[in-house]
């Protein structure tokens, strides 16, 4: 039973942050595709803005991988977990799962607005990236807390 909770936590970290990233990238990708019909020479600037919401999905994957290493699913036979240990690992996965989902959605909106800025004022596109990085910061905090919590759980 404990192993099931831990695996559910790993799955939640990947799935929720991945859902947020895919939606966020979708929003910015749509805005970028529309912008390129008028301004194709700034593809590189649009690409940076489009890629940014994808990092949360990567963070969720990293957190899940660390959790799976901790319980030895990656290396062979999983360790025997008590229900409490499994539940603790599930809870430990929630910071990146939830913050990854929410921050990727909001970062997608900021980046989509940044595409609009880039169309009108290409020289200011890095200002849009800076604004998007402020949203990213909270996903990084979620990843760090998840790592600290997973590493702090005794097995």
Q: Vertex 89, ends 9 and 76: CA angle to 5°?
A: 85
Which pLDDT belongs to residue 15? 98
pLDDT in tens, 104-142: 999 999 999 999 999 999 999 999 999 999 999 999 999
Q: What is the mean pLDDT of residues 69-94?
A: 93
- State which residues form the domain around 88: 2-152
Q: How far apart are CA 60 and CA 91, in angstroms?
A: 14
pLDDT value, residue 152: 95
Residue 39 pLDDT greater than 90, yes or no: no
State the DSSP code for 80: P
Map residue 5 onto helix, strand or coil: helix
DSSP reduced 3-state for 37: coil
- Residue 1 pLDDT more than 90? no
Split into its structural domains, the chain has a count of 1
Give the CATH number of the domain where residue 96 resides: 1.20.120.610
């Amino acid at each position: 039973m404990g192993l099931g909770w831990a695996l559910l936590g790993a799955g939640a970290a990947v799935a929720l942050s991945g859902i947020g990233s895919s939606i966020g990238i979708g929003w910015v990708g749509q805005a970028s595709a529309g912008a390129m019909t008028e301004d194709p020479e700034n593809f590189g600037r649009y690409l940076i803005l489009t890629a940014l919401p994808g990092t949360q999905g990567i963070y969720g994957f990293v957190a899940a991988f660390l959790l799976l290493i901790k319980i030895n699913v990656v290396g062979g036979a999983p360790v025997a977990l008590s229900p409490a240990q499994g539940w603790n690992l599930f809870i430990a996965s929630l910071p990146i799962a939830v913050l990854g989902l929410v921050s990727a959605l909001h970062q997608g909106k900021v980046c989509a607005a940044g595409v609009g800025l880039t169309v009108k004022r290409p020289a200011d596109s890095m200002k849009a990236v800076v604004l998007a990085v402020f949203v990213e910061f909270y996903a990084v905090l979620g990843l760090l807390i998840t790592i600290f919590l997973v590493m702090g759980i005794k097995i």
